[in-house]
Amino acid sequence: MSNLTLALDAMGGDHGPHITVPAALQALALYPQLTIILVGDRIAIGEQLRRHHRTESSRLQLLHAEQVVSMSDRPLHALRNRRKSSMRLALELVHEGKADACVSAGNTGALMAMAKVVLKTLPGIDRPALTTALPTTTGHPVYMLDLGANVVCDSETLFQFAVMGSVLAECVGNRRRPRLALLNVGAEEIKGNDQVQQAAQLLQATPQLNYRGFIEGDGIFTGAVDVIVCDGFVGNVTLKTTEGIARLLVQQMRQAMEGNLLARALGWLLKGRLKRLYRQMNPDQYNGATLLGLRGIVVKSHGNADNAAFLRAIEEAVLEVQRQVPGRIKSRLESVLLDKS
């Protein structure tokens, strides 16, 4: 692995430096070639460093930011009034080439808006998309996008998402010719709304993509495809539904296990596995999500990520830097568009 530098929005998320600093220290121990720039309030970060008996070093730098984007800031407000925030400065480090990627657990809408303004989208991409890897019964993940960055999408946007998702599944998910589907209310060709129908036509006419047709909600987790494309409204509701189900499941399992002593013993035995299962069912919370389509790598960790989850987001960023995801999206898009024209 060659040297690489990540800019961390150390103030983002519900817990800020309490989580981001220890996760950064763990990442530095895991990746000897990694340099991390912690961006945020000097005092709050310094306190966490002292608590872990660490100081700044060549591999652990600190960039002071006097502002913080709060979880309730509206995107436009953050864009206008949080120019000196940790989130914005971290993104600017990527834009200036001082960092290879940015990781933030902050306000998704603000991150999206700032990333678009600071980094710009890749040529041919109208809007960035939010994506994450969901678990499937085969063990291979499926990448789903968009997860809420774009509430309304036309067919052209869905098409661009398909290109981006396919590249991610190939580069980071190690899938060859990733199988791709559009999320719909039925598998039959006649089903769906206009956007989905027209996107299907665009995808069918693009041999560079391994388009397999429509998939329904119950097909997301079967591993039948590697990439699932939908608009941000549907994607967001779907992702959050899986989180809601996970919570319902844990509660019901707990109730079931309270029943008798043996069941309780089983619950104890299965605790680790249930926890892993629960994490899998909260992919966004655990894996982090990626903002695809920008001229730079931005990984969004869940707001209430714990240490391990924020570390996962850092690892995702490392992987995307190594696999040069934005460059590959750009060249794939160029080849697709060239063939189309």
Edge-to-edge order in the sheet of strand 101-104: 60-64, 34-40, 4-9, 101-104, 297-300, 289-292, 129-134, 142-145, 227-229, 179-183, 210-215
**182 vs 336, which CB is nearer to a copy of itself?**
182
In the complex, least distance from residue 34 CB atom to a copy of itself, rounded to whole angstroms: 33
**179 vs 295, which CB is nearer to a copy of itself?**
179
Q: Are 23 and 312 in contact (CB under 8 A)?
A: no
Q: Nearest to residue 307, comparing CAs of 14, 1, 3, 4?
A: 14
**DSSP H or E segment with residue 39:** strand 34-40
> What are the distances in angstroms from CA 250 to CA 273, 275, 298, 317?
12, 9, 32, 30
**192 vs 326, which CB is nearer to a copy of itself?**
192
In the complex, least distance from residue 64 CB atom to a copy of itself, rounded to whole angstroms: 31
* Diameter over CA atoms, the chain: 68
> What's the rounded Cα separation, in Å, for the pair 334 and 306?
39
In the complex, least distance from residue 292 CB atom to a copy of itself, rounded to whole angstroms: 18
In the complex, least distance from residue 211 CB atom to a copy of itself, rounded to whole angstroms: 19
Tokens 């549907």 belong to 234
In the complex, least distance from residue 229 CB atom to a copy of itself, rounded to whole angstroms: 13
In the complex, least distance from residue 177 CB atom to a copy of itself, rounded to whole angstroms: 24
Q: Nearest to residue 17, comparing CAs of 91, 59, 68, 74?
A: 68
Binding site for a copy of itself (CB under 8 A): 74, 135-137, 148, 151-152, 183-185, 190-193, 216-222, 230, 232-234, 236-249, 251-253, 256-257, 259-260, 262-263, 265-267, 269-270, 273-274, 277, 280-281
In the complex, least distance from residue 270 CB atom to a copy of itself, rounded to whole angstroms: 6
Task: Please provide the distance, in angstroms rounded to a whole number, between the alpha carbons at the two ends of the chain.
Answer: 38
**102 vs 182, which CB is nearer to a copy of itself?**
182
Q: Are 178 and 170 in contact (CB under 8 A)?
A: yes
User: If you ran DSSP here, which 8-state letter would residue 85 be given?
Assistant: B
Question: HSE-up of 297 (CA within 13 Å, CB side)?
Answer: 31
Q: What are residue 129's DSSP bridge partners? A: 292
**289 vs 318, which CB is nearer to a copy of itself?**
289
- Give the type of residue at 97: G
**20 vs 282, which CB is nearer to a copy of itself?**
282
**148 vs 326, which CB is nearer to a copy of itself?**
148
In the complex, least distance from residue 105 CB atom to a copy of itself, rounded to whole angstroms: 17
**152 vs 338, which CB is nearer to a copy of itself?**
152
